[in-house]
């Protein structure tokens, strides 16, 4: 686990020095110059894009502490907190960014945003999507609050929100849907998109040492496997990816990327579904007009980076190519159309920042 309060500028300098030495040695041996920015780490376009995105999010913070421009204020503020934390920013920092993060956390932790059952998705209408996002954010920020009181509040809110996730999973469902979640805590069906957020929240909480039954995560993994589209033959699977709900024959980019990351977050790095999904994504690269592009790129960048090798290299190039030229002058991104455009710029900017900041390795949930 990295030191959470590491100095990003010092890290850049050290990595740059390492890259320069590597370049010098390579040139002396007569080999071609390395082209990857990972080998010569300087303030390149990606770093500058991340800095501008962080400034946009902070500049769009409201007096209440929320960071949102289109409603769903609790869920979107939580997404923005994770995006800012992915750059190594901490609420305890005596800086503009640190104070902004502290204020955003205080907003999310306001008691009115969580009902008596522990549900975060009711107040702002974000449903179980929002509940999973808020819970995941709180697990990632556990112990990182600016004050003892804030840390106590994070733990208290988490205990209730995690209980709700577990009770919602236990609602009676059809066999193929067991282990998953959908739009409300009482839903009798499941879909992969909602399930991913709850599963990552549970796994992150377990990593934090909280009391999460292994059976809950195992059951969610079974649901993931039911959503895999490749044919099975014993312990092997055929070519395929993940679909929105079990029984569908065609994988989609967004769900395949989501399933890939979720399997890895749960430690299934060598699972056949992981290999098959990574191969599928390698040959089905996302396009600019992809449905739910920002949502998909978030999972794609994180999941392929964890696979490593050619998968990480290819996804890094694709994500940079799709996002960097489309960043607006104020540091934001806006979806070109479709359902994502209606959610606003805080949503798309937060997901873009989480996609581009993969190489910084600050959020524990995305570390292999």
- E strand or H helix at 221, and its extent? helix 214-226
How far is the C-alpha of 302 from the C-alpha of 263, rounded, in Å?
12
For residue 243, the SS3 value is coil
Give the model's pLDDT for residue 36: 47
- Residue in 293, 200, 299, 314 with CA at minimum distance from that of residue 256: 299
Tens digits of residue pLDDT in 231-249: 877 777 888 999 999 989 8
CB of 118 within 8 A of CB of 167?
no
Write down the pLDDT at residue 235.
73
Residue whose C-alpha is closest to residue 228's, from 212, 245, 203: 245
End-to-end CA distance of the chain: 10
Residue of 181, 148, 147 whose CA lies nearest to 162: 181
Q: Which residues of the chain fall short of a pLDDT of 70?
A: 1-43, 368
* pLDDT confidence of residue 3: 36
Q: Sign of dihedral through CA atoms 10, 12, 15, 21?
A: negative
**Can you tell me the distance from the alpha carbon of 130 to that of 79, in angstroms, rounded to the nearest whole number?**
9
Could you give the C-alpha distances from 149 to 64, 84, 108, in angstroms and in order? 19, 21, 14
Give the C-alpha separation, 112 to 316, whole Å: 40
Residue 286: the pLDDT is 95
Q: What is the pLDDT of residue 21?
A: 31
β-strand partners of 61: 67
- CA–CA gap between residue 62 and residue 69 (Å, rounded): 9
CA distance 324 to 185: 38
The pTM is what?
0.88
pLDDT digits (tens, 9 = 90+) for 177-219: 999 999 999 999 999 999 999 999 999 999 999 999 999 999 9
Q: Angle CA(163)–CA(167)–CA(169) in degrees, nearest 5?
A: 120
């Amino acid at each position: 686990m990295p030191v959470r309060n590491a100095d990003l500028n010092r890290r850049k300098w050290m990595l740059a020095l390492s890259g320069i030495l590597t370049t010098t040695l390579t040139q002396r041996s007569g080999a071609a110059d390395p082209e990857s920015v990972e080998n010569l780490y300087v303030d390149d376009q990606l770093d500058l894009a991340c800095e501008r995105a962080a400034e946009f999010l902070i500049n769009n913070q409201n007096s209440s502490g929320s960071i949102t421009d289109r409603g769903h204020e609790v869920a979107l503020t939580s997404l923005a907190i994770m995006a800012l934390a992915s750059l190594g920013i901490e609420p305890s920092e005596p800086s503009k960014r640190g104070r902004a993060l502290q204020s955003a956390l205080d907003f999310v932790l306001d008691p009115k945003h969580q009902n008596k059952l522990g549900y975060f998705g009711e107040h702002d209408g974000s449903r179980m999507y929002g509940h999973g996002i808020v819970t995941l954010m709180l697990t990632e920020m556990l112990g990182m609050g600016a004050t003892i009181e804030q840390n106590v509040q994070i733990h208290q809110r988490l205990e209730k929100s995690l209980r709700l996730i577990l009770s919602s999973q236990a609602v009676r469902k059809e066999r193929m849907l067991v282990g998953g979640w959908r739009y409300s805590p009482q839903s009798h069906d499941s879909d992969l998109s909602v399930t991913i957020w709850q599963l990552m929240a549970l796994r992150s909480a377990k990593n934090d040492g909280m009391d999460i039954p292994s059976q809950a995560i195992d059951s969610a993994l079974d649901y993931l496997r039911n959503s895999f589209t490749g044919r099975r033959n014993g312990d092997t699977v055929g070519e395929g990816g993940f679909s929105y709900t079990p029984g569908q024959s065609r994988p989609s980019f967004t769900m395949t990327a989501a399933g890939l990351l979720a399997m890895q977050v749960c430690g299934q790095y060598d699972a056949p579904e992981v290999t098959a999904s990574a191969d599928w994504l390698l040959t089905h690269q996302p396009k600019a007009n992809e449905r739910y592009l920002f949502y998909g790129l978030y999972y794609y960048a994180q999941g392929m980076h964890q696979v490593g090798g050619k998968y990480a290299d290819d996804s890094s190039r694709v994500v940079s190519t799709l996002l960097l030229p489309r960043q607006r002058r104020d540091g934001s991104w806006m979806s070109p159309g479709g359902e994502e455009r209606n959610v606003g710029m805080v949503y798309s900017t937060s997901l873009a920042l989480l996609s581009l900041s993969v190489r910084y390795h600050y959020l524990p949930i995305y570390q292999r």
